[in-house]
């Protein structure tokens, strides 16, 4: 069954670039009203202009998910301004490429806040209103790092793995209601995500043809809303990788360590 964005109110975090920005425009093309949140207000306003060019409309707010105390008040504001939110997409995330040999406690805390706790708090803040209406969907954007290997991404992978189980908990506990929880997993995507940044180790060199386009990931996420399965991937090959690791975790990790040693 396909999901129809027409008339849906969709709140998207991490909407100032990459997958979130592409998702905002794709949702708007389908007739959704979009709420956009991230830290960079100038980039959000540009995405909102793109949304309007695509025939849609929406709102934007600056939000720093690492500022945990600001998350619940933000949820209240977004619900008040947008009206009842039909879909929350917890898409915001930030890479932390750092060998576990050098990871600092502050880097660990910040990585967890941005990639897990902020999104979990936003979910908890909106969930009672969704349950009261007995309607809504929460899409948590994870990472193939939780399904393949955590090479120099132990903290980021741990945060996304926490998001995976948080989503699984939601999926169980929402059974019997009309509020749905979806786990959506992209693989390597051509966004600003892997741009070198201070404090991060160098990213993997990725051949350009190994990267998905953000718009294709956005379309896969919209397609995922059309089924009630727990887990969806941006491409079938990603599901196959996840299944290969689940079938033989020791052998899979051994092969990955050998592959990384050859690089």
Which contacts qualify for 56-62: CB closer than 8 Å, 24 or more apart?
A: 56/25, 56/27, 56/28, 56/29, 56/31, 56/32, 57/28, 57/33, 58/24, 58/28, 58/33, 58/34, 59/34, 59/35, 60/15, 60/35, 60/36, 61/35, 61/36, 61/37, 62/37, 62/38
Q: Between residue 92 and residue 121, which ones bind ligand NAP under the rule CB under 6 A?
A: 92-94, 114
- Non-local (6+) Cβ contacts of 245 within 8 A are 147, 148, 252, 253
38 in contact with ligand NAP (CB under 6 A): yes
CB 200 within 8 A of CB 97: yes
* Min dist. Cβ of residue 177 to ligand NAP (A): 26
Minimum Å distance from CB 54 to ligand NAP? 18
Phi and psi at 126, nearest 5°, equal: -95, -20
- Interaction between residue 12 and ligand NAP (CB under 6 A): no
Shortest Cβ 251–ligand NAP spacing (Å) = 23
What the block records as the tokens of 186 is 């992209």
Give catalytic status of residue 156 as yes or no.
yes
Q: Identify which of residues 64 and 168 has a Cβ nearer to ligand NAP in the complex.
A: 64
Active-site pick, 79, 116, 156, 171: 156
CB neighbours (10 Å) of residue 12?
A: 31
Structure tokens at 148: 């393949």
Tell me which residues in 163-192 interact with ligand NAP (CB under 6 A): 186-189, 191-192
Beta bridge partners of 179: 136
The answer to whether residue 139 forms part of the interface with ligand NAP (CB under 6 A) is no
Tell me whether residue 154 or residue 186 sits nearer to ligand NAP (CB atom).
186
Q: Tell me which of 14, 58, 136, 232 binds ligand NAP, using CB under 6 A.
A: 14
Give the shortest CB-252-to-ligand NAP separation in angstroms: 18
Considering only residues 190 through 219, tell me which ones interact with ligand NAP, judged by CB under 6 A.
Answer: 191-193
Q: Which of 86, 75, 76 is nearest to 7 (CA)?
A: 86
Taking the least distance from each CB to ligand NAP, the nearer of 8 and 189 is 189
Binder among 11, 89, 139, 141 for ligand NAP (CB under 6 A) = 141
Binding-site ranges for ligand NAP (CB under 6 A): 13-20, 38-40, 43, 63-66, 91-94, 114, 141, 143-144, 186-189, 191-193
């Amino acid at each position: 069954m396909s999901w129809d964005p027409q008339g849906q109110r969709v709140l998207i975090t991490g909407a100032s670039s990459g997958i979130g920005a592409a998702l905002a425009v794709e949702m708007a093309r389908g007739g959704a009203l979009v709420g956009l949140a991230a830290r960079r207000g100038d980039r959000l306003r540009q995405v909102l202009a793109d949304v309007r060019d695509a025939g849609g409309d929406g709102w934007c707010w600056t939000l720093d998910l690492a500022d945990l105390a600001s998350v619940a008040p933000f949820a209240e504001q977004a619900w008040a301004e947008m009206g009842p939110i039909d879909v929350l997409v917890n898409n915001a995330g930030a890479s932390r490429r750092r060998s576990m040999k050098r990871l600092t406690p502050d880097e660990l805390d910040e990585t967890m806040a941005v990639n897990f706790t902020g999104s979990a708090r936003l979910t908890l803040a909106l969930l009672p209103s969704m349950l009261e209406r007995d309607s809504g969907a929460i899409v948590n954007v994870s990472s193939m790092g939780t399904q393949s290997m955590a090479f120099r991404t132990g903290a980021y992978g741990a945060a996304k793995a926490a998001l995976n189980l948080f989503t699984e908990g939601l999926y169980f506990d929402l059974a019997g209601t009309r509020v749905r929880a979806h786990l959506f997993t992209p693989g390597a995507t051509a966004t600003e995500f892997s741009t070198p940044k201070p404090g991060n180790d160098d990213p993997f060199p990725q051949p350009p043809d190994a990267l998905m386009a953000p718009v294709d990931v956005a379309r896969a996420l919209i397609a995922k809303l059309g089924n009630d399965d727990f887990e969806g991937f941006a491409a079938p090959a990603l599901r196959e990788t996840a299944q290969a690791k689940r079938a033989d975790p020791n052998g899979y990790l051994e092969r990955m360590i050998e592959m990384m040693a050859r690089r």
